[in-house]
Amino acid sequence: MKKILFVLSGLFLISTWAFTQSQFSDVKMKTLENGLTIAVKEVHEAPLAQIQLTYKVGFRDAPEGRLEMPHFVEHILFKGTPQFPRDKFPLLVTENGGYLNGFTSAERTTYVETVPSHQVQQILEMEASRMTEVAFDPQDVQTEKNVVLSEVRGYAGAQTNQFNKDLFTKLGSKTRDYYDFEPRMKGIQDTTVEEAKAFYKKYYRPDNAVLVVVGDVKAEEVFTWAQQYFGKIPRPAQALVKTILPFSPLTQDLRVDGKGIVREPFGFRYFNFIPYSPKNRN
C-alpha cells in the first residue's frame, strides 16, 4: 500500500494557513475519561464520512539517531492486528469504494479513512484495535524497512531539501536533521523490533490522540461508538513526558538566503511560508 509522507513543505503549511475559522463551526467535542479527544462535524450532503485519528507524535519526537521512527511505526500499523489482520482491514475500506492512508509530519502521525457512513462504526473499532494491538512481527519490520528506505531515497532528490534544511537550521529545530539523508537511512537500517515497539507503546495512547469524524454521521452516535471501542483502553498510569521543545514563535520575518520568507506565526506553531518565486524573491 502506498502511504503519503507529508514533510513540512510549503504546500502543507499553506494548506494549514488557509484553514479558515468557518470550517470549525458546528464541531461537537468530547473527551473520554482516558483522555481521547473527539471532534465530530456533521455534514449530511452525501452518505460518506471521513475518519482521522491523529497521534501527537512526529519527527520531532524521534529518538536520537532514529529520525525515521515515527514514519516507520506508521507503516507497521498497516500490518494490522489479530482482530483486523493485514489482508482484511484495507479491504473493509477499499471494497466499498473507500480510501485509506496514513502520513507523518514533524508533529503528528495521522491515519485517515473515507468510507460510506454506515462503515464508520467498524472503522472506529479497527482504529481502536490499532492503537494498542499491533504485533510488530519481525518479518514485517524487515520488509517495511526496505519500503521506508525506498521512500526516503525518493525524497532525497527533492529540490526543496536545501531550502528546508536552511530554514529549520535557522529555526533551531531538530527537523533540520530530516534533510540529512545518510544518517536518516542508517537509522532505519539499525532500528530494532524492540525499539519500534517501545516507541509505539510510548506514544500510541488515548491521551495522546485526537479522533476527528466529519460527514454523514450523528455526533452522539460517534461518541457512543468511541466510548465502546476506545473507552476500554486505559489511560497509562504515567503521564507522557515529551522532551522536545516547541518551535519558538517568530517575531519577525525569517529569510533563508533569498530563497523564501517565513512570516510571523499563525497560531501556536504554524507560520506562513512563501515559497520562492520571481515575484517574492525579495
Residues making contact with Zn ion (CB under 5 A): 3, 5, 151
Q: Count CA atoms within 13 Å of residue 119 on its CB side.
A: 24
Residue type at position 244 = I
Residue with Cβ nearer Zn ion (5 or 131): 5
Residue with Cβ nearer Zn ion (68 or 177): 68
Q: How far is the CB of 160 from Zn ion (least distance, A)?
A: 18
Residue with Cβ nearer Zn ion (5 or 188): 5
Q: How far is the CB of 108 from Zn ion (least distance, A)?
A: 14
How far apart are alpha carbons 136 and 73 in whole angstroms? 9
Tell me the residue ranges of DSSP E strands in 107-260. 109-116, 209-215, 254-255
| Neighbour-count burial of 266, counting CB atoms closer than 10 A to its CB (0-12 exposed, 13-18 middle, 19+ buried) | middle
Q: How far is the CB of 70 from Zn ion (least distance, A)?
A: 10
Residue with Cβ nearer Zn ion (127 or 144): 144
Residue with cell 495522546: 208
Cβ pair 52, 111 in contact under 8 A: yes
- Looking at beta carbons, which residue is closest to Zn ion? 3
Task: Name residues whose C-beta falls within 8 Å of residue 16's C-beta, 6 or more positions apart in sequence.
Answer: 266, 270
Residue with Cβ nearer Zn ion (3 or 79): 3
Residue with Cβ nearer Zn ion (153 or 232): 153
Q: How far is the CB of 71 from Zn ion (least distance, A)?
A: 6
Q: How far is CA 249 from CA 8, 46, 143, 160, 264, in A?
A: 16, 40, 40, 23, 8
List, in sequence order, every residue forming a beta bridge with 214; answer none if it has no partner: 41, 50
Q: How far is the CB of 138 from Zn ion (least distance, A)?
A: 19
Residue with Cβ nearer Zn ion (147 or 171): 147
CA-wise closest residue to 106 among 242, 186, 9: 9
Task: Name residues whose C-beta falls within 8 Å of residue 4's C-beta, 6 or more positions apart in sequence.
Answer: 101, 102, 103
Q: How far is the CB of 151 from Zn ion (least distance, A)?
A: 5
Q: How far is the CB of 74 from Zn ion (least distance, A)?
A: 7
